[in-house]
Structure 1
Amino acid sequence: MSDRFARARAVDAGALGAAMAAMHGGFAAGLGMPAEAAPPAAADPSPAPRHFRPAAPGARPTAGWDPFDPMGDGRFGPRPADPSPAPPPAACDNEAIRAEAYAAGLAAGRAEAAEAGATGAALTAIADRLAAMATLQHARLAERLRATVLHLTAQIVGEAVPPAELTAARIAAAAALIVDRTAPAGLRLNPEDAVAIGDHLPHGLAVTGDAALARGAFVIETRDGEIMDGPDQWLARLHAALDAVPLGPAPAGGAA
């Protein structure tokens, strides 16, 4: 086997080519090609260009060809319609957007301001009512204190009996106020005081006992008028003094 392989390698290439060229039609006939188109037996050793040049450079062989109907007979159905172009985006009006945002913010601000104003007015009304209630409670307390003072004072004055010496001194002070000492004057006082005072009464007064007068009370009657003093006058002056006292401000916090 090795001898055959050696003899095959020893075949001359030129003899093989001459044998094939002697065949009818050459090697190209075996490939189904005409003899004139067969390649030359030996390659041309000179280099040849390998770039492509179209036969008709200005022609467009695919002009008018529809890829959806390549055969031109509509066998693949109707050609799909071209999609409608998307509408162009609307122009952005910055001034309109700014004006709309400003109007919305202004309306919201006014609404919040109105709500805050209503809340403030309601709180102010509540505070005023609380202040009025505090003032009323303060006035009621002051009136109760005043009535309590008058009641306790009247009770003390009504139960207490002034000393005879003090009553005589008060009568003498009142008699000194008489302008016309030459005119007759009378003195009315409680009968018990008249007995207790005795000789301590000032001269020139006609003394008369009057059980309607409380202990410590007296009335000096003259041509020009009367001079009265006693527990009833004391309580009246205390009443007037309490009425003249101004009512102080209510304590902070509305506490009465």
Structure 2
Amino acid sequence: MQFNRLLPDPGPVDSAELLHDLGLAARAPVDRPFVISNFAATLDGRIALDGRSGSIGDDGDHEVFRRLRTQADALLVGTGTIEQEGYSRPIRRADLRAVREALGLNPVPPLVTITRSGRLPLEIPLFGDPEAHVIVYTTAAIEPPRVAARVDLQQIDDGPLLTGALRHLRSAYGVRSVLCEGGPLLLSGLLHEGLVDELFLTVAPLLAGGGPEPPMTSGAPLSVPARLELRWVLERNGSLYLRHSVTPG
């Protein structure tokens, strides 16, 4: 798919070429995976309309979303998001699986989720798919669910939950890169623990005009705001696609 690159080096660019190999694994710290996050938002900062995020992004956003999924060892998504969006097994297209395999990745990434309460939305398609692999990190004791998907339960007893989860992903599963797909509480938690390395953001030419829908982050503010360095800006049909490096506050 063609985009207009505004920064740097203005000109046309193809998404398959731009996002064919981000080299995430090579930039992973010693003790955890390299973490990128991807969101789409309206111009006034809402990440959902009528409870769903899909109506914000256009086909360009969907293309970036799918291409980023080819780059990471694992996907990281909050339980609220996988429930609201009705997640199923990621990456069904054969061509995108082939991209992952060419990078030395498993054709279908495991989906990692976080639940402090121990509650899991077992009724969504993800848990009914025998080819899906779900890794659950929690501080609660959970009984293994009786579902078709492979579900690994990992309890973190000491220290911050997200830091412990990412360290365990690296040491136990060999995960070197993670794509966080939301939601706001999860992204905020990652920022508070200094665990976000890059942020991809689609800014849609839409205004929500208020309402109850959430912004990209929620919960307690950071004591010092994280600083962003702009890597590139793309444009397509009025939407902007931003890539930032993140420096913890």
- TM norm structure 2: 0.22
Of Structure 1 and Structure 2, the greater strand share is in 2
- Structure number with greater CO (CA < 8 Å, separation at least 6) is 2
Of Structure 1 and Structure 2, the greater helix share is in 1
Point out the structure with max Rg over C-alpha: 1
